[in-house]
Chain A
Amino acid sequence: MPNAEPVITMRGVKKSFPGAMALKGVDFTLQKGEIHALLGENGAGKSTLIKILTGVYERDQGEILLDGTPIHPRNPQDAQKIGISCVHQEINLCPNLTVAENIFIGREPMKFGAIDWKTVNKKSYEIMKGFGLDIDVTKTADSYSAAIQQMVVIARATEISAKVLVLDEPTSSLTAVEAKKLFDTMRALKEKGAGIIFVTHFLDQVYEVSDSITILRGGEYVGTYKASELPKIELVAKMIGKEYKELDEANVRSGKAVSGEPFLSVEDASSSEISDVSLVARKEEVLGLSGLLGSGRTEIARMIFGVDPALSGTIKVKGQKVKIKSALSAMRLGMAFCPEERKKEGIIGDLSIRENIVLALQAKRGIFHLVPRAEAERLADLYIEKLAIKTPSREQSIKNLSGGNQQKAIVARWLAANPELLILDEPTRGIDIGAKAELQKLVITLAGGGMAIIFISSEIDEMLRCCQRMVVLRDKSIAGELDGDISESRIMSFIAGGADSAKS
């Protein structure tokens, strides 16, 4: 029931960072009882806008009104006090505290001057049950999976009974079923009159729950639309400022059975995390590893790359039997692995883009063969240009880049090491549609140039676009292999295991 009763009004909000103008005067209005999607490419300023609203950053200019009163939240605590709470993309939990505590910390019910743990635990259990999770809330948060942790964060935010709830990419670590549950919760909150700002890269989800859509591009306000009146194609065009057709070029190669020579073959290999893996990765080919979150995709990649080394079975590289005992030995064999959690396992925030890019090459050569500065600069410039990394200079600290650009820099790092096999684990998670298309195109181009690629992604569209062959996983084992005739329904049927297919 969107009516003309704004809860948040932002006018002419400006913010700049050293070397970049993040917001160039943005307007944004959130009504009571609406779900409002905030969309834009990486670096469009969504995150900055949200961080200003929630008090993480201070704005340089402009005004924010909450129920008509100007506000200046100086930190997230301030923002929470006036009724603005936020769920971020990264899971913000204290891993050492219990689930119950994570929901209630800072607002624990007190009894006789002491925290009333009984009530905390009882209420938390009920709250999680309301989300359909029947779990032991007295266990620490780190004993649960990422998806459950994210639900805990959301439970906390909704429990604060906020006037304004900001959800910044809340679904990137959730399964389809869990995301559905979250949407139900969002709708229930909306009915109660809360205003919800929803940031996501999944456009289907935007249309599933949102009432209105505001688009930002390059730090500027593009417009606000009713979700029902804005076709998806037009939305994408507005977000990236160009026609959608370009994105579909990538389709050309898909489905064609191009097979080069096998670069890697794995036979009945098992690691501590996964068993009985057999697959072949060929040159000039993108091999997809498909399956739900936790189905064992990443575990296979980690085994191949020697992070969790294979304990049994045979691994051959170019026909030669090899033992891959560490990541370094995998690198020496010509492999590269671009991991899923780039913040945790990938980037080194304080180093410059140049340093981050040459890191893998340096490791491969060994510390006594320093990559010369001139070569490093040349490589950095080359890949910044080739992958269109948006940065003022190659000497910029990588942490200052947006998510998509960080991801590109990591891909660049592995490309700089000139691998023959490149493993990409969720390379496009959390990055915008333009950067996604660029990365997909890059993957296909690289395969075309003779590289063998193993591609892992949760997005079936993307897999269909990029992969020539696909190995489908279910519950930590290989459910089947698709060659040539790859379609969404076939993948789904493998994932669902022929039983009641949960196509959603």
Chain B
Amino acid sequence: MKKNFALIVTGLLFALLFGAGVAVYGFKLSTFLNLFNTNAYLIIVSVGVTFVLLTGGIDISVASNVAFTCMFLAVTMRAGLSPLLMIPLALAVGTGAGLLMGYLIQNFNLQPFIVTLAGQFFLRGLCAVISTESIAISNSFYTFMSLGKITLGRGNNIYFYVFIALAILAGAGFILNFTKFGRGVYAAGGSEQSALLMGLPVKRIKTLVYAVSGFCAALGGVVYSFGTPAGYSLQNMGLEMDAISSAVIGGTLLSGGAGTVAGTTLGVLIQGIIQTSVTYQNLNTWWTKVMNAALLCVFIAIQRVLAARAEKAKTAKPAISKA
């Protein structure tokens, strides 16, 4: 019930902002669809990060993972290798990087922040080692993926890669709500000690979430390269923070145990609306960050107030039930 509540609040906020956009700037259906078109990769990355946040961890390596994936694909495409082989390989590399970080964090009891910071430096560094230039990708498969779309009337387009994001969203929602691993993620975030004593494989769960995050980051990279077919070592700087703030706006607690991927997606879309509004207003794009920051503050304050109120409602009840 509590988690649904956070989701409803986020949903309402989204509706409110979009409604305001319709009234003020004349947002249309195409604006709505474009939120997905431009943010598909961020949805995927944020969903992955949500897994980590739910366990109470953090992953700040995802932006570098995205950049590395694009760079990897750009270089291998330039060498004439098949995208149908290289994309799965890129996903495997991204997942492997996440798995390795998860392993280091769990097995040596290291701080997730530090380990994923190292991962961030490493992958970003590797990009620059490969090339400091921007490398364009051009082959028939990419042309198909970056331009393939479904048109619903005039100007209302959904690109094919948006469906990848939707599939990931559905898959993640299923995993989190209907599998032992998914529930274990919530349990480990709610009370690690209890989860451990209940006999849950906490260590494995907390390792695997980084692999999930790594996979999603790499897939986000693939989707990003569909939208922007190029590899560049400095692209998507700071994306990890966008992903984390999307999750938080969507109701995920950084302390773990609460949050939904649907909420995270709404978080991404809300930030997308702000970005669109800033563009409509012809403002400097940095205003997006300013607005996001304000929103983030408001959101965590609301969450705090709601949590405090719930706490109060609970203690007001008599401690013993008449059993």
Contacts and interface: CB of A to CB of B under 8 A. Distances in A.
A299 to B, nearest CB: 9
Nearest to B253: A96
Interface in B187-226: 187, 189-191, 193-201
A13 to B, nearest CB: 20
A94 B190 contact: yes
A412 B1 CA distance: 43
A138 B314 CA distance: 16
Nearest to B314: A143
A56 B257 CA distance: 23
B180 A106 contact: yes
Nearest to A87: B197
Interface residues of B, number: 35
A451 to B, nearest CB: 29
Given A77-B199, A132-B323, A140 B2 contact: yes
A95 B190 contact: yes
Contact of A86 (B177, B184, B197, B314): B197
Contact of A106 (B1, B193, B198, B318): B198
Interface in B285-323: 312, 314-321, 323
Interface in B149-196: 174, 177-180, 183-184, 186-187, 189-191, 193-196
A294 interface: yes
Contacts of A105: 180, 183-184, 187, 195, 198, 200
A97 B190 contact: yes
Q: Is the interface of B mostly helix, strand, loop or mixed?
A: helix
A108 B321 contact: no
Contacts of A97: 183, 186-187, 190
Contact of B191 (A93, A101, A135, A177): A93
A425 to B, nearest CB: 14
A178 B323 CA distance: 8
Given A96-B257, A114-B174, A115-B183, A106 B199 contact: yes
A147 interface: yes
B199 A94 contact: no
Nearest to A272: B312
A117 B177 CA distance: 10
A80 B323 contact: no
A294 B319 contact: yes
A327 B207 CA distance: 42
A80 B196 CA distance: 11
19 contacts: A56-B197, A76-B199, A79-B199, A81-B199, A85-B199, A92-B197, A96-B189, A97-B186, A105-B183, A105-B198, A106-B184, A140-B2, A143-B314, A146-B319, A147-B320, A147-B321, A148-B321, A156-B198, A476-B318
